[in-house]
C-alpha cells in the first residue's frame, strides 16, 4: 500500500500548496477531472474570456448614443471558443505534465474517498495512506430534479457551466434556468452572440442576493436584451426532434419555453458526498461542507481542507487565500517553518458578476444590516453623475456605500461599467479600517476618472460630526 507524506485531493487551488518550504516531501495529488480545477477549466477564466467578446457586441450596439454607428457584428463562434480553449487547455496540460515530472510528486488520475484515518480508497481499487491530507476537491453544478431533465446531458442538449462553453455551434435558442451569477453571465454571453435566450428564474428578480436596488436594476437591463421569466419554475420537460419543451408555472399560469439547448445554472454543491468523509473522521455541516477550524483543520487529525469543499464563499480568490494559509500551516506542522500557524481572518470578502452591466459587492446589504440591528448610514451615487459617467452616457450605473455613523465602511454594492474595478478602493479601505472621510479627502482622485464615483459616494455619507 503506497504511503505519502502528504496527499492533496484536488488540483485547483490545492495544486498551489507545494511551496518551497514543502520541497522534498513525498506528495501525491489525486485528480479525477481536468487538471487545474474549476476556475481554470470551466469557471472564472474561460467565462470571463467569453464575456469580453459579448461586451464588445453590446458596446457596438449601444455606440449610436455616442454618435457612432457600426455594421451589425458577425460572430464566429468556433473562433471565439477555440481562441479561449486554445490558451486554457495547454495551461492545464502543462501544469499536469510539470507535476508528473517532479521526482517527489505522484499523480493519481482517479477519484478518492476516505476509508479510514488518513486512508484513501481510489477508484482504481488501490488504497493509499498519508501522514497528512488536504481536501481541496471543490464543488460541482447542481442538476434539476424535474421530470425529463434528471438524466439528460450534453448529448441531448442539456448543459451546465462545465460543458456549455464547448458547444459545437451556437443554437438558435437557449433556455437558461436560474438567476444567480452563472446564469446571468451565460445569459449575457449567449444573448449578445446572437442566441435567443429565455431565462427562467423562480424569484422576483435576478441576482437575489445582491442589494435590492441593484438586483432590480440589473433585472430591468437584462429584460431589454432577452426574455426573462420571473416567479417562474420548470415543472417538466420533453425532448422532441432536437427541441426541448419546458413546461413552466408562473404568474400567468402554465406556459412553456422551447429551445435547442438548456443550461442548468441552479447553484453548486460541495463534493463531500463523493468523499465518504465520515469514514475518515471528518464532520460535515448541515449544508454538506466539511467542518474546519480557524486554521482550516478538519475534525480529523492531520487533515486540512480549503475552497468550496469547506467554504460558504464559492470564490477562487477565497480558495487561493485559504491555500496560502494551509501551505503555511503544513510547513509549521512538518517542522519546516518555525512560526505560529496562520488563521482565517475576517477581512471583507468581495465578489463580482460579469454580466451586463457588471455587479460587484462586499459586506452586508441594507436589509441584512437592518435585520442585525446595526446602525448605519448610506449614500448612493449614480455613475452618470460624474464626468466620466457623462462621457459613457451611463443611465443605470450606481454605487451604494453603507457605513457606521462614525465613518467605518461596512459595505459597498456597485452596478455599472467596470464595477469590479471601481469597488476595489473601498475593499481596501474596509480591510485596513480606514475612515470614510480619510479615504475621500486623504488622496487625490484623478479627474475625470470613473473612480470619482467612489469619492463622491464617500463624501455624501451623512456621518456624525
Q: Which residues are catalytic?
A: 447
Angle at 402 between CA 398 and CA 408, to 5 degrees: 135
Q: Phi first, then psi: what are they for 437, rounded to 5°? A: -70, -35
Contact 452, 386 (CB under 8 A): yes
Place of cell 485596513: 432
Place of cell 477564466: 45
Percent helix / strand / coil, the chain, rounded to 5: 35, 25, 40
Place of cell 481596501: 428
105-106-107-108 Cα dihedral, nearest 10 degrees: -150
Cβ atoms < 10 Å from Cβ of 199 = 29
DSSP H or E segment with residue 8: strand 3-9
DSSP H or E segment with residue 411: strand 409-415
Contact 234, 146 (CB under 8 A): yes
HEC string for 284-320: ECCCCCECCCCCCECCCCCEEECHHHCCCCCCHHHHH
CA distance 409 to 47: 31
Instruction: Select from 362, 445, 446 the least CA-distant residue to 403.
Output: 362
Amino acid at each position: 500500500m503506497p504511503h505519502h507524506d502528504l496527499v492533496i485531493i484536488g488540483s485547483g487551488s490545492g495544486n498551489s500548496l507545494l511551496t518551497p518550504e514543502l520541497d522534498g516531501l513525498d506528495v501525491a495529488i489525486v485528480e479525477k477531472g481536468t487538471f487545474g480545477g474549476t476556475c481554470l477549466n470551466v469557471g472564472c477564466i474561460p467565462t470571463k474570456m467569453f464575456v469580453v467578446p459579448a461586451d464588445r457586441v453590446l458596446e457596438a450596439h449601444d455606440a449610436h448614443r455616442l454618435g457612432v454607428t457600426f455594421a451589425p457584428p458577425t460572430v464566429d463562434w468556433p473562433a471565439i471558443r477555440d481562441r479561449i480553449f486554445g490558451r486554457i487547455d495547454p495551461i492545464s496540460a502543462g501544469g499536469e505534465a510539470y507535476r508528473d515530472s517532479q521526482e517527489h510528486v505522484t499523480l493519481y488520475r482517479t477519484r478518492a474517498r476516505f476509508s479510514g484515518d488518513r486512508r484513501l480508497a481510489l477508484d482504481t481499487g488501490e488504497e493509499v495512506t498519508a501522514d497528512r491530507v488536504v481536501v481541496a476537491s471543490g464543488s460541482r453544478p447542481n442538476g434539476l430534479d424535474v421530470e425529463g431533465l434528471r438524466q439528460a446531458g450534453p448529448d441531448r442538449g442539456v448543459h451546465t457551466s462545465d460543458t456549455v462553453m464547448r458547444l459545437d455551434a451556437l443554437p438558435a435558442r437557449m433556455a437558461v434556468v436560474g438567476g444567480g451569477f452563472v446564469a446571468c453571465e451565460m445569459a449575457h454571453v449567449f444573448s449578445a452572440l446572437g442566441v435567443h435566450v429565455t431565462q427562467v428564474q423562480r424569484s422576483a428578480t435576478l441576482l437575489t442576493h445582491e442589494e435590492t436596488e441593484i438586483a432590480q436594476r440589473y433585472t430591468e437591463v437584462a429584460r431589454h436584451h432577452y426574455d426573462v421569466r420571473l416567479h417562474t419554475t420548470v415543472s417538466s420537460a420533453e425532448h422532441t426532434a432536437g427541441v426541448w419543451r419546458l413546461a413552466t408555472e408562473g404568474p400567468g399560469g402554465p406556459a412553456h419555453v422551447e429551445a435547442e439547448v438548456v443550461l442548468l445554472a441552479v447553484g453548486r454543491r460541495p463534493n463531500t458526498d463523493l468523499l465518504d468523509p465520515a469514514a475518515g473522521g471528518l464532520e460535515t455541516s448541515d449544508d454538506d461542507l466539511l467542518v474546519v477550524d480557524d486554521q482550516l483543520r478538519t475534525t480529523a487529525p492531520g487533515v486540512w481542507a480549503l475552497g468550496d469543499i469547506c467554504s460558504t464563499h464559492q470564490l477562487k480568490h477565497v480558495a487561493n487565500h485559504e491555500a496560502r494559509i494551509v501551505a503555511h500551516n503544513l510547513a509549521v506542522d512538518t517542522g519546516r517553518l518555525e512560526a505560529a500557524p496562520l488563521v482565517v481572518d475576517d477581512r471583507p470578502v468581495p465578489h463580482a458578476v460579469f454580466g451586463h452591466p457588471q455587479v460587484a459587492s462586499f459586506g452586508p446589504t441594507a436589509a441584512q444590516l437592518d435585520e442585525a440591528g446595526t446602525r448605519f448610514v448610506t449614500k448612493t451615487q449614480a455613475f452618470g453623475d460624474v464626468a466620466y459617467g457623462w462621457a459613457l452616457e451611463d443611465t443605470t450605473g450606481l454605487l451604494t456605500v453603507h457605513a457606521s455613523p462614525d465613518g467605518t465602511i461596512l459595505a459597498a454594492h456597485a452596478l455599472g461599467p467596470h464595477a469590479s474595478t471601481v469597488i476595489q478602493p473601498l475593499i481596501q479601505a474596509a480591510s485596513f479600517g480606514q475612515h470614510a472621510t480619510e479615504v475621500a479627502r486623504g488622496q487625490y482622485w484623478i479627474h475625470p476618472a470613473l473612480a470619482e464615483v467612489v469619492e463622491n459616494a464617500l463624501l455624501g455619507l451623512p456621518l456624525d460630526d
